[in-house]
Structure 1
Amino acid sequence: MPRIFVLGASGTVGSELSRLLAAQGETVVKATSRAPTAPDQVQLDLLNHGGLSTAFNGVDRAFFLAPPGHTNQDVLLAPLVDEAKARGLKKVVLMSAMGANADDNAPLRKAERRLEASGLAYNIIRPNWFMQNFNTFWLQGIRSAGQIFLPVGAAKGSFIDARDIAAVAARLLTSDTFANRDFDLTGPLALDHNEVAAILTQASGKPIGFTDIPPEAMLTALKEAGLPQDYAEFLLVILGYFKAGYAERTTDHVREITGQAPRTLAQYAKDYKASWA
C-alpha cells in the first residue's frame, strides 16, 4: 500500500496531520531524528541527511516543513526535494511561512523555488503565526507573570490554528484538485495582542495581559531560552514584520480547500484553556 511521508511528525502540525491521515485510512511514515521506536517511524537526520536514501522507501507522497531552530532552510530541504524527484513521488506538500515569497533570495523562498522547479506535483502552504504559540513558545510569560511579552506594539495578526493547517495539508496530500498551487493560510480575523489576551482570559479564568517589550529584551529572552544567536535574530526580524502590519491580512483558503471555516481564536482558547489555568 502506498505510504505518505511526514516530516516533523511529532510537531504541532505534523502530529495532527499524521492523525488525520491515519483516520482517513492512509498509511503514514513518520520521520524521526532518533532511532525509530515504532513500526511507522523512519530515521532521518536533517542536518547531515543520514537515512535519506531509505526514508522514502514505499512512499508516494510527502509532507515537508521548514525545521524550527534553523535559518538555512534551503540547505536542509533541498536534498529532500531532490530525493523526492529522483523517487518520482506523486505529490509533495511543503509548509513554509506567510511572507516567505516576498524575497527570492530568502532561504525559505529558495526551498519553495526548488520544489516549484522540480517537475513534481506540489503544493506550498504558507501559514500565518500559529495560535498554538500562546500555549507553547509564549507560555512561560503567561504562567510566570500573566503577560504575553512581545515586541509587536498594537499590530494585528490573523492567527491560525495549527489543526486547520494540518487539515489543509491532509486534503492537499490526498487530492489532485489544487495541484501546483501555493496558498497563504490565515485565521478568520486579525487581532492585536491585547484582544488575544482578553480572549485567553475569558477562556481560562486567569487574568492575562499583554506587555509590549523592546526588541533587545526579546532577543535576550530568546537566547536565555537556549535558541541559537542566528535563529533568535531571525525571529526578531519576523516579529518586526508583524509589528509593521504584514501579518494582518486574511485569506479564505482554509475554507476553499477543506470546506470548513478556520477556527476562531475563541474556539482555540476554549480547547486549550487548561494550558493557562
Structure 2
Amino acid sequence: MTTTLVIGANGQIGSTLATLLASQGHTVRRATSRAASQPDEVTVNLATGEGLAAALTGADQLFLMAPPGYANQQELLIPAIDAARAAGVHKVLLLSAMGANADDNIPLRQAELHLEHSGLAWNVIRPNWFMQNFHTFWLHGIQTQGQIFLPVGDAKGSFIDTRDIAAVAAKLLSGDEFVNAAHDLTGSESLDHTQVAAILSQAAGRTIGYTDIPEEAMRQGLLGAGLPADYTEFLLIILGAFKAGFAAHITNAVQQITGQEPIRLEQYAQDFKSHWA
C-alpha cells in the first residue's frame, strides 16, 4: 500500500487531494502547520523544517507546496526535497504556478529545477489563477462593496478550479504514465474580470461588478490586510503578469491527465454562490 504525505492537507487543494487518494486506497498522512488532532495528521512546519523528517519516515510519495505568505518559496521547498530524498521517498509532486518557468531566477523555478535534478521520480504542476480566489482572497470587496477590486485591466485568465488541480495531482500520484514531466494546468476558457463578475452575479442573484484599481491601491490594501511586504510585492508582480496577458493561455492538460473536461466557471459559481449571495 502506498503511503503519501500531503503537505497543506487542510488547504483547498490538499484537502481534496487527500480525500481522493484515500478513496483510491492510499495511506495518507495529512500534514498541517497546526497541532495534529486526527490519527492521520502530522504537524509539519516547512518554514523551520520542524516535524518534516518524522513525517517523511516510511512515506513513498510527497505532495509538496509552499505555504502562502512566503516570497522565498525555494528556501522552504528545496530543503523539503532533500529531506524526501534522504528519507527514501520515491516520488515528489511539486505544486508550482503557471509562468514559474519563464525565468530560472524565479523562486518556484529554482525549486522545480532542484527537484528535476534530484534523482527522484517527479512531477511539477503549474496551475493558473484559482477560481476559488473569488470566495477567499477577493471575497471582502464582493461582500462589502459588490466589486472585484484588482489592478489587471481587461486582461483575460484561464482560471482553474482547485478541485481539478487536486484531481490531476491524484492521477499523477497514482501511476507513472506522466512521470518526470511538468504540466501547465488551466481551465477551458479565458475570461476577463468583467465576464467573471457577470457569471458570479448570475449565480448569486445580486449584481457584482469589477473595478480596475491602481497598483498602489492594491499594495496598500494587501499591506493593510497584514501581508508581509515581500509577499505583497510578489503578488503585485504576478498580477502585473496577468495584466500583461500571460494568464490567458489555455492547455488541455486537465483533460489529458484526468480524462475529464475542466470545471467551468459557471459550475464553480453555482457550487459556491452562498459566499456572495
2:174 and 2:155 mapped to 1: Cα distance? 36
1:26 alignment partner in structure 2: 26
Deviation sequence 1:84-143 (CA, Å, 0-9, x none): 111222211101100000010111100001100001001000000000000000000000
* CA root-mean-square deviation: 0.8
How far residue 82 of structure 1 moved from its aligned partner, in angstroms, is 0.4
Q: 1:228: Cα distance to partner?
A: 0.5
Q: Conserved in 2, the CA contact under 8 Å of 1:7 and 1:30?
A: yes
- Secondary structure of the residue that 2:60 maps to in structure 1? strand
1: CA distance, partners of 2:172 / 2:148: 34
Q: Secondary structure at the match of 1:249?
A: coil
Whole-angstrom distance in 1 between the partners of 2:162 and 2:34: 24
Mean CA deviation greater in 79-88 or 102-111: 79-88
Secondary structure at the counterpart of residue 59 of structure 1: coil
Deviations 1:29-81 (A, max 9, x none): 01112221111011111111011221112210110012210011111011110
Equivalent position of 2:53 in the other structure: 53
**Which ranges in structure 1 are unaligned for 5 or more consecutive residues?**
none
Q: CA deviation at 1:181?
A: 0.5
User: Aligned AA for 1:244?
Assistant: A
**C-alpha distance in 1, partners of 2:144/2:265?**
22
Write the distance in 2 (CA, Å) between the matches of 1:53 and 1:271.
38
Q: Aligned with 1:63: secondary structure?
A: strand
Matched residues in 2 for 1:94 and 1:107: separation?
Answer: 13
- Normalised to the residue count of structure 2, the TM-score between the two structures is 0.98
Is residue 135 from structure 1 mapped to residue 109 from structure 2 by the alignment? no
Matching of residue 170 in structure 1 with residue 176 in structure 2: no
- Say whether 1:182 aligns with 2:182: yes
Q: Is the 8 A contact 2:58 2:87 kept in 1?
A: no
Cα separation, 1, equivalents of 2:88 and 2:186: 31
Query: 1 CA distance for matches of 2:256 and 2:92?
Result: 19
Segments of 4+ in structure 1 off by > 4 A? none
The AA in structure 2 aligned to 1:236 is: L
* Alpha-carbon separation, structure 1, partners of 2:191 and 2:35: 42
CA-to-aligned-CA distance 1:209-241 (integer Å, 9 cap, x gap):
000000000001001111001101110110000
What is residue 253 of structure 2 aligned with on the other side? 253
Q: Which amino acid aligns with 1:199?
A: I
Q: Distance in 1 between matches of 2:160 and 2:25?
A: 26
**Maintained 8 Å contact 1:88/1:120:** no
1:100 aligns with 2:138: no
For the residue of structure 1 that corresponds to 2:4, the secondary structure is strand
Check if 1:17 corresponds to 2:21: no
* Distance across 1 between alignment mates of 2:134 and 2:217: 18
Q: Distance in 2 between matches of 1:35 and 1:130?
A: 27
Write out per-residue CA displacement over residues 8-47 of structure 1, whole angstroms, 9 at most, x where no aligned residue: 0011111111111112121110111222111101111111
Structure 2 residue 181 is matched with structure 1 residue 209:
no
Match of 2:275 in 1: 275
Percent identical pairs in the alignment equals: 61
TM, length-normalised to structure 1: 0.98
For 2:116, the equivalent position in structure 1 comes to 116
Contact 1:127 1:160 survives alignment (8 Å): yes
Distance, in Å, in 1 between the alignment partners of 2:226 and 2:86 is 37
Residues 2 and 58, structure 1, Cα contact 8 Å, conserved in 2:
no
CA distance in 1, matches of 2:45, 2:90: 23
Question: Are 2:226 and 1:226 aligned?
Answer: yes
Between the aligned partners of 1:34 and 1:273, the Cα distance in structure 2 is 29
In structure 1, C-alpha distance between the alignment counterparts of 2:164 and 2:2, rounded to whole Å: 25
Q: For residue 62 of structure 2, what is the aligned residue in structure 1?
A: 62
CA contact (8 A) 1:146 1:209 kept: yes
Q: Number of aligned pairs?
A: 277
